[in-house]
Each structure stands twice: as structure tokens, then as C-alpha cells.
């Protein structure tokens, strides 16, 4: 009998393990909500049926399938899970600030699923975030698109497996400060940044040729060719040139944005998104024609000279010029109220509700290459959803429930005092965070410059 129990327990563990290897998916029926689909207008008094993590049906008077929980959302607003195209949350290390090109490193290796910030982002309706390398290098490391399935202790449990590969580039002051001024290495100027990127691409082309030559020769009879040296950095750059990786480029000034557009056009690269892009509004027609868009701050400016000539009307100007535009956080704080950041485009530029909501849903999804899965409420899409008590663009709106793959990860009525997954057994004095410790684009590179340590903002 005892033995049988052990076998049963073992069997259960196997099943549990099997489940955890694949991200769990949920089923739920959300009834009578005002559904803000983003792509197909607003549907009053409508039900959304979720089965096995996918949106199965949208309609009125849907019946509850057996065993599926039903939630009455009368008087409430349902919108797609919010997507942040630029975050460093839940990453243990952000900058590999040792060379102007570090395409070989990946943020997937440093994901920390225990970061309580993930839960807080969910409490603000954010379900997906793009975890980026920092901005120390002209070509930084590869990024990771995460679904915020808080509770897993396995970093891979957070990965959005369907998301295409992405990489971080950075222009302007950050790479020139870290390498040029900090270490007396190119680039020290915006000319140098362009050269570093062009040289990197050219080197990758040569590398690819070497392998092509080798591959063509190696199977020939009596071939004595030896393979070229494997180089992960150049492999990655080749993949960019082959269109397999989307570039997300940290940028501020219009001239440098225009420069990278030209570089990418020369190399036939069209998977290019600009991020922060404070002066994007000055080259809006070019961004609209040649890129996958711009991911901007709603109103951050003047924290450094590069962003002194910014405007909070940036997002509105870009949208009205048909640039695919999103609003990003780059902050563990802003990621909790991106709905409010998007709402600011109504003060600064008078965008419609639908335009404003697209800034934090379908548009960032397009920029991450995941818009066929998420970013709007449509049948067949993944059930990442948020219920608000008021219209999410109101300053008074409070997220009530947040779902990822149909599973509820946040419920305002079930929120408990301590949501940490892991508590330090040795730390007697808990850290107290006051303002601005969450600015992380240049996190970890203070070593290279004394003055950096004193900055409030160091994007």
C-alpha cells in the first residue's frame, strides 16, 4: 500500500514536471465587459471566451463551458494585455560594456524570474515586456521577449517562445561616453558610431562568405579545406543581415536616427525599430517609410543634453505621420502604468482613445514581431487580457485582473501583503528604495565614468 502511494506520488510528480515544462494555459469566460479590442473597435456588453490560453469566441450571451470559471465584468473595461517594447526589469545584468559590439551575449541568460517587479507590472496590466540589453555599446546584446508568467522559478518559463529574435543597438552619447571617453576607443563621436556599425556589418559579410566558400568546398572529393573559426558575434550580425533579427535601437537625435536608417538601407536591413527616439518627430516621414517604427517615452526629457530638444508631443506627431508608434517604460515604475503614459498623448496631441491604446498594445506587438499572437482582442489570439474598473485612459482607472495565456496572475481582491517568491534569509535590513533607482539603460557602466554615479537618469 505504502509502495503504491509512492508510485502514485512519483507519477504525479512526473505529470507536474511535464506540465511545468510547457507554460500552463487557462480557460475563463469574461462576461458583459466593454471590450476594447484595439483593432476592431469597442464592443459594448460583450463576452470573451478563453479556452486553453487562446481567445476562442467573442460575442454576446456566450454560455459557460463545463468546468470553466465565469467572471462578471459588467460596467468594467476589458483590454488586451499591455506590451512594453523596452524594459530591463527582471534582468540580472544589463550591460556587457566591454566592446563597441557585443552581439554574442544574450539577455535570455540573465532572466531573474524572482523579481517582484514582474508582479507589480502585472498589477499595472502589463503582460509582455521586451527585456533589452543596455545602451553602452553601438551593437549590444540580444534581447528577450518575456510573458510575465509570475510564479515560475524557471527563467525559460517567462520566455515568449514564438517571439522572433531581437537585438539592441545604441547611438549617441552612451556608446561614445563608455568607449570613446571612458576607454579611449572608437567610437567617441557619432561618426565613429556609424563606422563601428558599418564595419561590423562588412565583417559579417566577409565571415559569411568564408563559410559559404568552405561549405561549397568541403564535400568535394579529396577536399582538404579547414573550416573558418566559429564566431558567435559575427554569426549574430549575419543573422541581422539575413533579416532574422529585429534591431531595437536606442537613439535620441534626429541626425543619428537618420544615419542608421541610411546604414540599414545600404545593407538591405528593414527590420529596424528605434527606441526612446526623442527627436524621432523631426524625421517622422523617414521613420514611417523605412522602419518598423518608433518606441518613445511619453514625456521624459532634459535628463541629459541629448534630450533637451524633446517634446511630449513626440508620440502624437509620429502617429499622425503614420509611424508605427509605441510608448515604452525603460523603468520598473512606468511599466506599472503604461496605460497612463499612453493617455498623456491625449493631452499632448489629442490622440483618439483607439490611437492611444494602440501605442501600448498592437503597435509594440508589431515592433516585436508578435502581432499575430497578441496585442488585440481577436478570436484565435493568445488570451493576455486586463480588466479595468474604468476606461483605462482615465487617470482614475485601476486594473482589477490581469491574465496571461488565460491564467489570472493578478486580482486586486486577492492581492496579499507580500508577493515575493524568494526572501533573503540573511538580510536583516530590507532595502528601502527611494526614487529613481530604476533607470537602467546604463545600469552597470558607472565604473567607466565617475560622474555617471551621480546622475539621476542614466538612459
Partner 1 sequence: MRKNSLIIYIVLLLLLPVLSYGQIEGEVLKPEGGSFLLKGATVVTVTDGVLENTDVLISAGKIQEIGKNISAPSATELDCQGQFIYPGMIDSGTRMGLVEVGSLAETQDYAEIGNVTPNMQALTAVNPNSVVIPVTRVSGVTTTLSVPAGGLFPGTSALINLNGYTPDQMYAGFKGVPMNFPTLARRGHWDKRSDEDIEKDAQKALKDINDIWERASTYMKLEDADADLTYYPEMEQLAKVVRGELALMIEVNRAEDILSAIKWIKEKKVKKAILTGVAEGYRVAAEIADAGFPVITGPVLAIPSRDSDRYDAAYSNAGKMQKAGVKVALRTNEAENVRNLPFNAGFAAAYGMGKEEALKAVTIVPAEIFGVDDRLGSIEEGKSATLFIADGDPFETKTQIKHVFIDGYKIPMTSRHIRLYQEFLERNPGLEK
CA angle, 127 as apex, 351 and 270 as ends, to 5°?
A: 65
CA angle at residue 83 from 80 to 84, to 5 degrees? 160
Task: Name the segment binding partner 1 (CB under 8 A); options: 73-81, 103-111, 276-284, 373-381.
Answer: 276-284
Q: Which range, of 12-20, 73-81, 201-209, 448-456, touches partner 1 by CB under 8 A?
A: 448-456
CA separation, residue 186 to residues 133, 261, 319, 386 (Å): 20, 21, 35, 46
Which listed residue (195, 301, 354, 448) binds partner 1 by CB under 8 A?
Answer: 301
The footprint of partner 1 on residues 111-170 (CB under 8 A) is 116-117, 119-120, 123-124
Pair 383, 54: CB distance under 8 Å? yes
Contacts 24+ apart (CB under 8 A), 199-202: 200/101, 200/103, 200/138, 200/139, 200/237, 201/237, 201/240, 201/241, 201/263, 201/267
Work out whether 457 is an interface residue with partner 1 (CB under 8 A).
Answer: yes
**Beta strand pairing call for 28-36 and 42-51:** antiparallel
238 Cβ contact list (under 8 Å, min separation 6): 204, 205, 207, 208
- Work out which of 347, 372, 380, 447 binds partner 1, going by CB under 8 A: 347
- Report the residue from 235, 239, 255, 333 that binds partner 1 according to the rule CB under 8 A: 333
Q: Check binding of 310 to partner 1 (CB under 8 A).
A: yes
- Work out the end-to-end distance of the chain between its first and last CA atoms, rounded to an integer number of angstroms: 63
Is residue 217 within 8 Å of 85, Cβ to Cβ?
no
CB of 149 to partner 1, least distance (A): 17
- The piece of 200-208, 218-226, 257-265, 285-293 that touches partner 1 (CB under 8 A) is 285-293
Nearest approach in angstroms of CB 430 to partner 1 is: 5
Task: Choose the stretch contacting partner 1; rule: CB under 8 A; options: 21-29, 134-142, 221-229, 434-442.
Answer: 434-442
CA distance 148 to 125: 10
Q: Identify the residue whose cell numbers are 498589477.
A: 123
User: What letter does residue 124 receive in the DSSP assignment?
Assistant: T
Residue 74 is a binding residue for partner 1 (CB under 8 A): no
Q: Does 205 bind partner 1 (CB under 8 A)?
A: no
Nearer to partner 1, 270 or 437 (CB): 437
Binding stretches for partner 1 (CB under 8 A): 116-117, 119-120, 123-124, 281-282, 284-286, 288-289, 299-305, 308-313, 316-317, 320-321, 332-333, 336-337, 340, 343-344, 346-349, 393-398, 415, 417-420, 423, 428-435, 437-438, 451, 455-458
Amino acid at each position: 500500500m505504502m509502495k503504491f502511494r509512492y508510485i502514485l506520488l512519483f507519477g504525479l510528480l512526473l505529470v507536474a514536471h511535464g506540465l511545468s515544462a510547457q507554460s500552463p494555459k487557462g480557460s475563463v469566460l469574461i462576461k458583459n465587459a466593454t471590450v476594447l479590442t484595439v483593432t476592431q473597435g469597442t464592443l459594448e456588453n460583450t463576452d470573451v471566451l478563453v479556452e486553453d490560453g487562446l481567445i476562442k469566441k467573442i460575442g454576446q450571451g456566450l454560455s459557460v463551458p463545463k468546468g470553466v470559471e465565469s467572471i462578471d465584468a459588467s460596467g468594467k473595461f476589458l483590454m488586451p494585455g499591455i506590451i512594453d517594447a523596452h524594459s530591463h526589469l527582471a534582468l540580472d545584468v544589463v550591460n556587457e560594456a566591454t566592446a563597441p559590439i557585443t552581439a554574442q551575449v544574450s539577455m535570455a541568460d540573465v532572466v531573474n524570474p524572482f523579481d517582484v517587479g514582474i508582479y507589480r507590472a502585472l498589477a499595472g496590466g502589463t503582460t509582455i515586456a521586451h527585456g533589452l540589453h543596455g545602451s553602452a555599446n553601438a551593437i549590444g546584446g540580444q534581447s528577450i521577449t518575456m510573458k510575465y508568467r509570475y510564479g515560475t522559478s524557471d527563467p525559460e518559463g517567462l520566455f515568449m517562445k514564438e517571439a522572433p529574435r531581437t537585438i539592441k543597438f545604441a547611438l549617441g552619447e552612451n556608446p561614445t561616453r563608455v568607449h570613446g571617453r571612458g576607454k579611449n576607443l572608437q567610437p567617441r563621436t557619432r561618426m565613429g558610431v556609424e563606422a563601428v556599425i558599418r564595419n561590423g556589418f562588412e565583417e559579417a559579410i566577409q565571415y559569411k562568405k568564408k563559410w559559404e566558400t568552405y561549405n561549397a568546398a568541403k564535400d568535394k572529393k579529396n577536399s582538404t579545406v579547414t573550416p573558418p573559426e566559429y564566431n558567435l558575434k559575427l554569426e549574430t550580425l549575419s543573422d541581422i543581415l539575413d533579416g532574422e533579427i529585429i534591431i531595437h535601437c536606442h537613439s535620441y537625435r534626429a541626425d543619428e536616427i537618420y544615419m542608421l536608417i541610411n546604414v540599414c538601407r545600404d545593407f538591405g536591413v528593414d527590420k529596424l525599430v528605434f527606441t526612446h527616439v526623442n527627436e524621432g518627430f523631426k524625421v517622422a516621414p523617414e521613420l514611417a517609410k523605412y522602419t518598423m517604427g518608433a518606441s518613445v517615452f511619453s514625456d521624459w526629457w532634459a535628463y541629459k543634453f541629448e534630450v533637451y530638444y524633446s517634446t511630449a508631443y513626440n508620440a502624437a506627431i509620429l502617429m499622425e505621420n503614420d509611424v508605427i508608434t509605441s510608448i515604452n517604460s525603460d523603468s520598473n515604475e512606468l511599466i506599472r502604468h503604461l496605460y497612463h503614459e499612453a493617455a498623456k498623448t491625449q493631452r499632448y496631441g489629442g490622440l483618439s482613445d483607439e490611437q492611444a491604446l494602440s501605442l501600448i498594445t498592437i503597435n509594440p506587438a508589431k515592433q516585436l514581431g508578435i502581432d499575430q499572437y497578441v496585442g488585440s482582442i481577436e478570436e484565435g489570439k493568445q488570451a493576455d487580457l486586463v480588466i479595468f474598473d474604468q476606461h483605462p485612459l482615465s487617470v482614475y482607472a485601476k486594473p482589477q485582473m490581469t491574465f496571461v495565456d488565460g491564467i489570472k496572475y493578478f486580482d486586486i481582491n486577492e492581492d496579499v501583503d507580500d508577493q515575493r517568491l524568494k526572501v533573503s534569509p540573511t538580510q536583516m535590513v530590507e532595502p528601502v528604495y527611494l526614487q529613481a533607482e530604476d533607470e537602467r539603460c546604463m545600469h552597470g557602466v558607472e565604473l567607466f565614468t565617475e560622474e555617471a554615479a551621480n546622475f539621476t537618469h542614466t538612459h
